[in-house]
Structure 1
């Protein structure tokens, strides 16, 4: 991981000042960062301002939840992993035509779920499963080829997220809203495992590189416990689905939901404890760092709220029922956690892999703050008041502007070769490579 940002892309035949398809398809983060960020902007605009367009088997809140988790958040994670795995293993898992095919599958899925109709739904379901299967196979192949044993679980997690996606989509087809949200939680927990795994590795590395003389521990042992308990929570959630155990408040305490709640609670505590050891006070003057710390903190907080809800040990009337709503932990983990973390990762990793200075300009900094504002307003809108709908709309506007700024600033860079890599024509067909010393 100490060489995360040193992947070399193949030189492109064009000038670094001109767009290049070879550069665009050199590493997974380039097309998938653009695709995920664009869809995050479009999907929120559709959900908040034109929900009447969201018809079909996957519609309204079911469509919104699916597209934000699998269509955006997990897509960005796949883009990152397809890139980082090249450094972990020494082999680029996907580039050129295979990467283009993967992106086309992703696009067909987005169109199919949005178009409505049973045929569009099934086409989208199949292509989306092929997207996750293809990503998992590509990651698994290079992990084995590069003997990156510590990362063997990563392609398995991506495959499991595809299985959770299938479970969610079949519940949507049945029209069972309670089952739909339970299966969404399985996907949410699965993504939390990946987010915690990635963030626990990169945050200390990024912080020590950017803050002179800062020394913070990697916390490998606590990370192992974190993975064990988050995995146990995921297994308990799957068990709930298999056994049909009720999880709604008022049905009493059941073993599997209680195991799930305890595991999530411990995972959340470990996450917040790790932040303490990462010396957050040392990064307050570095927006590129504190945005990552903040997102990680909200994932931990959200896991605590999820544990509280799944335990069924609280009174639903507390705080006007806000804590009893699944939307509370979903938006704490998904928006305040994943999305704040993602805007930081989208910026930091893109700049690093593109050979750009690791510094935020005004538009990038504004994008960071707008995502934080969007999360704060969306959480405030959970409180049932006359202003809730206005807060929701303001949150959506802040989100749309934030992602628009990111795309405006980064698309021109993502479709061009690195400025620090010459582009001789003779090397145009060489695949992306990683220096052997950086393989693991």
Structure 2
């Protein structure tokens, strides 16, 4: 890709009062806050008050659905609604249209907590509509700008919506085996989208932040990685586990090679960078574990799911929603203690949750502790960033940074 996010470090300016116009200026503002809030609430409900999730989409199905499509995919939509403006020069969605996009998301989250078929149907329609509307908004920007490099990205959002719909249909039918197949398909589609974004932005961010650092952007290996990820989804849906396993080995292995080539030892002094590196290496490792599971190695399914979803997606998310928010809010690209503490807490939550997978007398206590530190991490993020998100940029109170052309090196 030739165009990536602009993250400038502007001069400081006067404080501004909260503004609805500023809040709805770009997709990341409401959607990052919505996703982070739901990450906190959904885990707290699942661990400490599961009886409140009493709808048709209840129990483990509710937890799996809400963490993948209610949290992770929501942050992905917020990122793409913002990055799309930098890629195309056209803001995909803002103002009332952005508020309209957020409405079905909120309806779905509430409806899935309520009992009854009507509530479930309303939630399902609202949830799928959220992804369809987001794909349409991004697709419009891509088409109007003739940004051919990103023609596939709106279809990835549609694929997230399609796997969401399939999961919900299987839930309604009470077909647990099919439900889990669709969950895994959604997980792999999300992994494909995450690899696409992370492989492009991590080298860009690193070279901008560390003087003299030069790292490969892996255009060719990145394309092979995306093809392998898509093949893994196909192998899963077609019921070809060995094809799925081989494709996952390729996608995960390429991720680890890329990570090593990005010189992780050079970013240890930059929290905004090392948190992204931690998430990317965890994602690659999770894909290899998923390959082992698909090949029948006897590993529990919960292991690769949590390594990918928590160690990969969630660690990358806490880094990305910090880094990209600071840049688009016109703030210095520097972490404070609360941000670094949030990073440490998310990583601690991952370690504790993985430890809780091993049956022991301490498992329940580890699970509760993992949920607690997870909730604290996202509470810290909201405490620090909510006041910024509802105010105009301090440097000029106007729109976010203009797009920048990046010409990556071939590797």
What is the TM-score normalised by the length of structure 1?
0.89
Deviation (angstroms), 1:146: 1.0
Deviation (angstroms), 1:129: 1.0
Deviation sequence 1:359-385 (CA, Å, 0-9, x none): 111111100000000000000000111
The corresponding residue for 2:16 is 17
Structure 2: distance between partners of 1:129 and 1:169: 10
The corresponding residue for 2:243 is 259
Asked whether 1:398 is paired with 2:373, we answer yes
**Kept after mapping to 2: 8 A contact 1:2/1:205:** no
Structure 1: distance between partners of 2:24 and 2:406: 21
Structure 1: distance between partners of 2:223 and 2:94: 32
**Kept after mapping to 1: 8 A contact 2:4/2:201:** no
The corresponding residue for 2:56 is 57
**Kept after mapping to 1: 8 A contact 2:229/2:251:** yes
Deviation sequence 1:161-180 (CA, Å, 0-9, x none): 10000000011111222221
The corresponding residue for 1:332 is 307
Structure 2: distance between partners of 1:398 and 1:72: 17
Deviation (angstroms), 1:438: 5.3
Structure 2: distance between partners of 1:195 and 1:439: 20
**Kept after mapping to 2: 8 A contact 1:168/1:180:** yes
Structure 2: distance between partners of 1:418 and 1:259: 49
**Kept after mapping to 1: 8 A contact 2:6/2:401:** no
Asked whether 1:27 is paired with 2:11, we answer no
CA distance 1:71–1:113, change in 2 (3 Å):
same
The corresponding residue for 1:282 is 266
Asked whether 1:354 is paired with 2:329, we answer yes
- The answer to which of 179-188 and 231-240 deviates more is 231-240
**Kept after mapping to 2: 8 A contact 1:261/1:307:** yes
Deviation (angstroms), 1:414: 0.4
Asked whether 1:269 is paired with 2:253, we answer yes
CA distance 1:437–1:262, change in 2 (3 Å):
closer
**Kept after mapping to 2: 8 A contact 1:88/1:439:** no
Deviation (angstroms), 1:3: 5.0
From 380, 384, 399, the counterpart of 2:355: 380
Structure 2: distance between partners of 1:419 and 1:378: 39
Deviation (angstroms), 1:284: 1.2
From 332, 344, 364, the counterpart of 1:369: 344
From 416, 419, 436, the counterpart of 2:394: 419
**Kept after mapping to 2: 8 A contact 1:6/1:87:** no
Structure 2: distance between partners of 1:185 and 1:298: 17
Please give the secondary structure, in 1, of the residue aligned with 2:113. helix
Structure 2: distance between partners of 1:422 and 1:291: 29
The corresponding residue for 1:10 is none
Structure 2: distance between partners of 1:437 and 1:219: 20
**Kept after mapping to 2: 8 A contact 1:32/1:79:** yes
Deviation (angstroms), 1:182: 1.3
**Kept after mapping to 2: 8 A contact 1:85/1:139:** yes
**Kept after mapping to 2: 8 A contact 1:373/1:395:** yes
Structure 1: distance between partners of 2:293 and 2:397: 55
- The answer to which of 168-177 and 408-417 deviates more is 168-177
Deviation (angstroms), 1:47: 0.0
The corresponding residue for 1:76 is 75
**Kept after mapping to 1: 8 A contact 2:232/2:245:** yes
The corresponding residue for 1:238 is 237
Structure 1: distance between partners of 2:130 and 2:353: 30
- The answer to which of 228-237 and 330-339 deviates more is 228-237
**Kept after mapping to 1: 8 A contact 2:348/2:373:** yes
Structure 1: which 5+ runs fail to align?
8-14, 241-255, 317-322, 424-431
**Kept after mapping to 2: 8 A contact 1:32/1:103:** yes
Structure 1: distance between partners of 2:140 and 2:406: 15
Please give the secondary structure, in 2, of the residue aligned with 1:114. coil
CA distance 1:61–1:23, change in 2 (3 Å):
same
Rg: which structure is higher? 1
CA-atom RMSD in angstroms: 1.7
CA distance 1:130–1:5, change in 2 (3 Å):
same
The corresponding residue for 2:171 is 172
- The answer to which of 228-237 and 80-89 deviates more is 228-237
Deviation sequence 1:81-102 (CA, Å, 0-9, x none): 0000001000001000010001
Asked whether 1:410 is paired with 2:348, we answer no
Deviation (angstroms), 1:116: 2.3
The corresponding residue for 2:218 is 219
Q: How many residues align?
A: 402
**Kept after mapping to 2: 8 A contact 1:269/1:300:** yes
Deviation (angstroms), 1:191: 0.1
Structure 2: distance between partners of 1:358 and 1:437: 17
**Kept after mapping to 2: 8 A contact 1:211/1:283:** yes
Structure 2: which 5+ runs fail to align?
9-13
The corresponding residue for 1:320 is none
**Kept after mapping to 2: 8 A contact 1:207/1:289:** yes
